[in-house]
A and B are shown apart, each in its own frame.
Chain A
Amino acid sequence: MSTIRTEPVTINLGPQHPSTHGVFRLRVTFDGEEIIDVEPVFGYLHRGTEKLAESRNYVQIVTLTDRMDYVASMSNNLAYVRTVEKLADIDVPERAQYIRVISVELQRIASHLMATGFLLNDLGALATPLVYCFRERERILDLFEMLCGARITLSYMRPGGVFQDAPADFWNSLNVLISDFPNYLDELESLITTNEIVLARTIGVGLLSDTQAVDSGVSGPVLRAASVKWDLRKANPYEIYDRVNFDIPIGNSGDTYDRYYVRLQEMRESIKIISQCIEQIEPGPVRTETPFFIRPPVGETYSSVEGPKGELGFYMVSDGGISPYRCKVRAPSFINLTPLKDMLTGWKMGDLIIILGSIDIVLGEVDR
């Protein structure tokens, strides 16, 4: 019997594909059904954020950061304003720090809900878990609307605090949300966590070992799923994270299931953080008076926060003027794509989509 001659086939996934979560292109080479090579192609959504920042003043750049990771603009705001505060040596009132932490944790929940919903969508659980996640995310967006008037492009934070205090009805709605949310997460878990189809498709798929993860510089839930206990909120506490108790959930093998499960546990931890913040917060000012045109002293600085997707950092150089001389963004989604080839090689075509979905990339941030 003669063997059938096969040749590797190269397929383009994207740039317009519903499962790539944006305009992302993957050139995949298959040997039959098996992936033997992957080449990601970025840049379709490049808007030159870093260059644009050089021609805007320090407050105006806040609006640019909203548009990088557009499902978690609050975290981007925080990462950016913290860098400016470090650069220009601006103090932040305590109440503002609490409000910032509350809003960032809410944003983390919203972002993880999106990630979980879309991961299941990619798995083929079309729409049902996704709309459940979106329903709860909607409530968080409603809270943001109270807080800052917008739902997606928030621009809530300013160097020196936040631009306005939370309105009185915000706290009631927040308390209702906090008390409902654990039940909701239980429900989501009983829908997904023990489902045989989900388990069969995710356990052991897309393995990323801890050494691989550390070597390629990934951060956030992808790193923690590979059982590396690293979280900037604990490792280098910023804002008021040293005053609240929370755990860092980690996975044990670094497969797709672990990445899903770590996100789910993180949402529970976020709820814990928010409820402690509500107890500790005290009345006071929410913004240090800063001039409209901030002129930081000549110098450079890097500061980073633990965003929903990983370590989100800004590196800024000031030449003493009203706009930065250079602004560089360390975007977690971009760097989390580094081990993609290792994770994908050897898996089948159907697994490609869920492995990509489990990394939780946002193309606005990858391409900036």
Chain B
Amino acid sequence: MYGLGLFKGLGITMKNLVSPSRQFNIVQYPNRRASPFDLAKVDNQNPISFIATHPIKTLRSLIGLETLVDRMPQHANFRGEEFAWYDRRCTGCASCAKYCPLGIIKIVTGTSGVNQQEGQSYDIDVFDIDIGRCMFCGLCVEACPYDALHMGSGFEEGKYRRSDLVINVDQLKAAEKKPSTWFRPQLTDRGHDPIKGSTADWDQVGRHEKPSLEDQGERWAKR
């Protein structure tokens, strides 16, 4: 019968419209409109006492003026921007620069620095990553033998000028360190999840345990 397919199709569209398991996963970005229940959850109160204590906020949220900042639901393995780089781990070996398919990492080193782990090392004078050309393939992170460079977990690096997209050594040092667990299983093992906001210090990101002082003394004294 002609037209049957049409009705069948409409039925499926209807099912998709109403059935909860078939709903689209809509993420309001960057801010999510918050209901009084969401606000109460953020405040760690039960909704009734929240409404009683914050009548104005409740009213505002009911007409859609209150918003919450939500992180996109992502996996900790996400390879994002803002490389997490630890100057105390980096030896200036430039494996990362050599391995980058685009050659966008620029490293200039000088002598004199003292590395925390193994004694003498180079000072990193310049460490520029041109993330305007970066494709976030992660090969530099894979190449780094000292776990000094990690993929970041952010993606909001919109800038007005291309030159602003070159992140230099000071920015890298000052940045909040939220390394992605991409190619760093040791971070997963330690329960690190940058999407949930955990940060990691330079001595927590290595694939080996830091040797104790006695071990180090032993190792270096015998040389």
Interface centre among B3, B4, B135, B185 (most CB of A within 10 A): B135
Interface residues of B in 1-48 (CB under 8 A from A): 2-6, 8-9, 12-13, 15-16, 24-25
User: Is the Cβ of A149 less than 8 Å from the Cβ of B25?
Assistant: no
User: Is the Cβ of B8 less than 8 Å from the Cβ of A149?
Assistant: no
B192 contacts partner chain A, Cβ-Cβ < 8 Å: no
User: Is the Cβ of A148 less than 8 Å from the Cβ of B5?
Assistant: no
B16 contacts across to A, CB distance below 8 A = 132
In the complex, how many residue pairs between chain A and chain B have their CB atoms under 8 Å apart? 79
B50 contacts partner chain A, Cβ-Cβ < 8 Å: no
Q: Who on chain B is nearest to A134 by CB?
A: B24
B79 contacts across to A, CB distance below 8 A = 148-150
Chain A: interface size category: 20 to 34
User: Is the Cβ of B75 less than 8 Å from the Cβ of A145?
Assistant: yes
Chain B: interface size category: 20 to 34
Secondary structure at chain A's binding surface: helix, strand, loop or mixed?
helix
B78 contacts partner chain A, Cβ-Cβ < 8 Å: yes
Contact of A163 among B9, B78, B142 (CB under 8 A): B142
Contact of A63 among B3, B139, B182 (CB under 8 A): B139
A216 contacts across to B, CB distance below 8 A = none
Q: Which of A190-198, A247-255, A302-310 touches B? A: A190-198
User: Is the Cβ of B24 less than 8 Å from the Cβ of A63?
Assistant: no
B5 contacts across to A, CB distance below 8 A = 194-198
User: Is the Cβ of A149 less than 8 Å from the Cβ of B182?
Assistant: yes
Interface residues of A in 139-192 (CB under 8 A from B): 142, 145-150, 153, 155, 163-165, 167, 169, 187, 190-191
A211 contacts partner chain B, Cβ-Cβ < 8 Å: no
Contact of B139 among A60, A131, A135 (CB under 8 A): A60
User: Is the Cβ of A145 less than 8 Å from the Cβ of B78?
Assistant: yes
User: Is the Cβ of B12 less than 8 Å from the Cβ of A187?
Assistant: yes
B74 contacts partner chain A, Cβ-Cβ < 8 Å: yes
User: Is the Cβ of A292 less than 8 Å from the Cβ of B180?
Assistant: no
User: Is the Cβ of A146 less than 8 Å from the Cβ of B75?
Assistant: yes
CB proximity of B186 to chain A, nearest CB, Å: 12
CB proximity of B181 to chain A, nearest CB, Å: 8
Q: Who on chain A is nearest to B183 by CB?
A: A164
B188 contacts across to A, CB distance below 8 A = 167
Contacts A149-B151, A149-B180, A196-B5 given; indicate if A56 touches B101 (C-beta within 8 A): yes
User: Is the Cβ of B77 less than 8 Å from the Cβ of A145?
Assistant: yes
B107 contacts partner chain A, Cβ-Cβ < 8 Å: no
Contact of B25 among A138, A196, A197 (CB under 8 A): A138
